[in-house]
């Protein structure tokens, strides 16, 4: 089986803890944000770009011994593969319609939300499209619509409904969904 392409959002960002992020923001005066693609990429490029490079640091010394210690070898390998394969990342899909419908839940005070998104895809490869939680979100019901070329089975256009419902309080009225055109308030019906 071909190696799965390494992408920042799915395979690199989750390697960094909140503690790692916080410490590195402090040490670099806000310049290295481990939860930001561009920042991590900048600290992964060859010299003379930033003095300390993430790949070198996670092979020895980072995270520090007294805050959990360095990564296992397999994590370093994944990180290096991400660098060697040109810093893969997910794309945002372009939605034409976004709906959020609520259904009864067996959980008292809760409803189940099904989010459905349709739209067009660049022509050529097949795509995966899915709705994920926004990372590091400010409110509990912020979502993002990702697309990834080369996987999945959507061609030219997509019609995606969340496989499993999202559990939400029964008072929920709107959710936020971000796509390639920005963030949209979506009324729950």
| Residues of this chain that bind ligand HEM (CB under 6 A) | 16, 19-20, 23-24, 27-28, 34, 43, 50-54, 57-58, 62-64, 67
| Burial of 28 per CB tally in 10 Å (0-12, 13-18, 19+) | middle
Note whether 126 and 152 are within 8 A (CB): yes
**In the bound complex, what is the minimum distance in angstroms from residue 136's beta carbon to ligand HEM?**
16
Nearest residue to ligand HEM, using CB?
52
**In the bound complex, what is the minimum distance in angstroms from residue 144's beta carbon to ligand HEM?**
24
Please identify, using beta-carbon distances, which residue of 20 and 148 lies nearer to ligand HEM. 20
**In the bound complex, what is the minimum distance in angstroms from residue 55's beta carbon to ligand HEM?**
9
Q: How far apart are CA 76 and CA 14, in angstroms?
A: 13
Please identify, using beta-carbon distances, which residue of 23 and 178 lies nearer to ligand HEM. 23
Please identify, using beta-carbon distances, which residue of 3 and 65 lies nearer to ligand HEM. 65
Other C-beta atoms closer than 10 Å to the C-beta of 62 total 18
Cα-to-chain-centroid distance, residue 87 = 14
Q: Which two tokens stand for residue 143?
A: 């979502």
Please identify, using beta-carbon distances, which residue of 59 and 118 lies nearer to ligand HEM. 59
Q: With H, G, I as helix, E, B as strand and everything else as coil, classify residue 43.
A: coil
**In the bound complex, what is the minimum distance in angstroms from residue 63's beta carbon to ligand HEM?**
4
Cα-to-chain-centroid distance, residue 85 = 18
């Amino acid at each position: 089986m071909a190696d799965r392409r390494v992408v920042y959002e799915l395979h690199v960002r989750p390697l960094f803890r909140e503690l790692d992020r916080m410490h590195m923001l402090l040490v670099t005066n806000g310049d290295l944000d481990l939860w930001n693609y561009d920042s991590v990429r900048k600290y992964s490029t060859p010299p003379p770009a930033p003095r300390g490079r993430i790949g070198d640091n996670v092979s020895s010394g980072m995270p520090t011994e007294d805050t959990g210690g360095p990564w296992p070898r397999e994590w370093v390998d994944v990180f290096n593969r991400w660098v060697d394969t040109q810093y893969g990342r997910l794309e945002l899909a372009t939605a034409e319609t976004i709906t959020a419908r609520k259904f009864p839940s067996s959980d008292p005070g809760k409803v189940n939300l099904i989010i459905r998104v349709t739209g067009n895809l660049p022509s050529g490869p097949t795509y995966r499209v899915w709705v994920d939680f926004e990372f590091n979100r400010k409110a509990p019901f912020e979502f993002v619509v990702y697309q990834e070329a080369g996987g999945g089975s959507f061609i030219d256009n997509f019609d995606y409904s969340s496989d499993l419902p999202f559990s939400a309080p029964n008072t929920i009225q709107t959710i936020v969904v971000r796509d390639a055109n920005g963030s949209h308030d979506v009324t729950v019906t």
